Structure 1
Amino acid sequence: MPAKKTRETDLYPPVKSFLEAQGYEVKGEVGKLDVMAMRGDEPPLIVELKTGFSLSLFHQGVERLSICDTVYICVPRPKGKAGLKSLKNNKNLCRRLGLGLLTVRASDNFVEAHVDPTPYTPRKSKKKADRHLREFQRLVGDPNTGGSTRQGLVTAYRQDALKCLGFLEGHGPTKASEIAKTTGVPTARNLMSHNHYGWFERVSKGIYWLSSKGQEALGEYEADLDAIRDLYPEPEE
């Protein structure tokens, strides 16, 4: 027999008890509010009840912030790996919006406060910002269409590998230091040594050439190689 689907009204009794245990007087359906609570002379507390996360729930929560600063959204506690991932993502969204987040566990009506409503001041990640700035600066041209899936995207690392590939095509087996100098890829030695794509092989100490996979890649990535050659002409002697 399938489990009974949770309704918004099923969330009200445990949320009411949860707030009353903290000294609040709680009332349901006050005007357009699902739950409103008062404690002494403090500003009101609002809870919006929904059976799951949705954009409209966040819209509703943000709208309630025009009434007071203490606004929670409440949903049944998600289950499973996907549910926990959704919970984590939506906790972060609540923090950014200044909303609180409550969940109710169906098995025993346990109410958990995952996030309390406070003004959000985002912490910038210099490491992430620097990483994306480096990737932007290293990318040659605009090889990817925005909105594409991650699979098959051209990264700066792949473009560096293609520069080495194209150089070896025209010059034959060459010292890694010369490849790095001519292509402008300072990490050429490590790139060819690690050989992530399998395009290179070391024929003697410090000297690299194309593997059989590298020879095949010349045809597969012909358009990308042409674009790189156009943007990076051969350096003057």
Structure 2
Amino acid sequence: MDKIYETSLSDPCKAWLKSKGCAVSAEVKSVDLLGIYTREEEEISIAIELKVKLNLELILQAVERQKIVDYVYIAVPHEYKVLESPRFKKIKLLLRRLNVGLLTVNFRSIAPYVTEIIEAKPYDFEKSRRLADKKKQALLKEFHSRITDSNDGGATKRKLMTAYREQSLLIAHYLSQEQAPMTIKALKAVGAPAKAGVILRNNHYEWFERVSTGCYRLTESGTEAVETYEDIILKIVGFSEDL
């Protein structure tokens, strides 16, 4: 079999687009192949990016095309060993999540032909915006819930001081000060956060032990946490009125 170039993929992919009812043109504003068809009086665009090897750069290029094209495909030569590899299965999963289609061109026949491995789908910008907005709100909520700034940017080798951990430490601090079980009401009266009841019941860090309904004491790990984070607790207590 002769060496395959990106241009070798062009004619089979053009034929595939035409079979879908598209008018086709190549190299349109850096898009390798662009097909246009009309659906309910609206022009629908399909882009195909041609590459000899499927790599990250090609996937990133396809994602960029989604900003201006309705459907985006990647086209690569059909290689049986590659298609069956574990890595390729992971790539296919990624493409499906990105709504990017995948075509392979088989050159082992007299006339090269295209197989649609993954169907392209329109990128849902509204859904993406809604998800991004939720993440943004969660980010802002965490930011504004923090009492201290006790993390180093880029740190990966120590536990992050989240708002939840800060509030848990504040509760642990008051329990250690009292050195006796306390009710949720009593904890809130001395400065524990409004969500003290939820934090105590969930007991995410296993720092607390319920001794009776609505009444808790510190566990051994809770006492250790108070000692370990003593410097941070001093900061938290100093700003606890902001909770």
- Checking the alignment, whether the CA contact within 8 Å between 2:206 and 2:221 is kept in structure 1 is yes
Pick aligned residue for 2:185 from 170, 177, 181: 177
Q: 1:114 to 1:182 in 2, by over 3 A?
A: farther
Aligned counterparts, 1:133-152, within 5 A: 133-149=140-156, 152=159
Q: Which runs of 5+ in 2 are unaligned?
A: 77-82, 107-112
User: 1: distance between equivalents of 2:63 and 2:138?
Assistant: 34
Q: 1:31 to 1:157 in 2, by over 3 A?
A: closer
Q: Which residue of 1 aligns with 2:217?
A: 209
Structure 1 residues 192-201 or 17-26, which shifts more? 17-26
Q: Note the 1:191-210 alignment, pairs <5 A.
A: 191-210=199-218
Query: SS where residue 228 of structure 1 aligns?
Result: helix
1:215-230 residue pairs with structure 2 within 5 A? 215-230=223-238
Partner of 2:49: 48
Instruction: Provide the C-alpha distance between the structure 2 equivalents of 1:36 and 1:46, rounded to a whole number of angstroms.
Output: 5
User: Identity of counterpart residues, as a percentage?
Assistant: 25
Query: 2:102 — aligned with what?
Result: 103
TM-score by length of 1: 0.67
Of the three residues 1, 12, 16, the one matched with 2:14 is: 16
Instruction: Judge which range, 24-33 or 200-209, deviates more.
Output: 24-33
* Counterpart code for 1:72: V
Q: How far off is 1:18 after superposition?
A: 2.0
Q: Are 1:167 and 2:174 matched, yes or no?
A: yes
RCO comparison, higher one (Cα < 8 Å, 6+): 2
Secondary structure in 2 matching 1:115: coil
State the match for 2:74 in structure 1: 74
Is the Cα–Cα contact under 8 Å of residues 11 and 104 in structure 1 kept in the other structure?
no
User: Secondary structure of 1:114's partner?
Assistant: coil
Unaligned 5+ residue runs, structure 1? 1-5, 92-100
CA RMSD of aligned residues (A): 4.1
1:88–1:185: structure 2 CA closer, same or farther, 3 Å change rule? farther
Task: Give the letter aligned to residue 174 of structure 2.
Answer: F
Give 3-state SS (helix, strand or coil) of 1:48's partner: strand
Match of 2:79 in 1: none
Measure, in 2, the Cα distance between the counterparts of 1:13 and 1:151: 55
Residue pair 2:174, 2:192 contacting (<8 A) in 1 also? no
